[in-house]
Amino acid sequence: MSSIIKLLERMGQESGLTESAIEFETAITESNLNEQLKQTMLNRDIVALEKALDICPDVVCILLPADEEENQEEEKKNNEEKIDVAAIA
């Protein structure tokens, strides 16, 4: 597993590996990957690579802003309840 990570890291650092088909093929064939991963990389088969590495390619992150109006309304209700309790005592 670390061999593929090292190769992918190298590809990210050296733009020539992805731009030149000859350099790309040389880097893959000289790597310590098993034949299945080498063939997958040479074919540029992303789906097969994801399956071989057992990774989940779909990562989703959603950030929602807090609703300040609701918080202000809740604070007003809480303050009103405190006032009502104080008046009853």
- CA separation for the pair 85, 23 (Å, rounded): 78
Are 5 and 32 a contacting pair, CB within 8 Å? Answer: no
Mean pLDDT of 72-86: 63
The pTM score is 0.53
Q: Which residue ranges make up each domain of the chain? A: 2-53
The predicted-structure confidence for 5-61, as pLDDT tens digits, reads as follows 888 888 888 877 777 888 888 888 888 888 998 999 899 898 898 888 888 767 788
pLDDT at 17: 76
Q: Which amino acid is at 73?
A: E
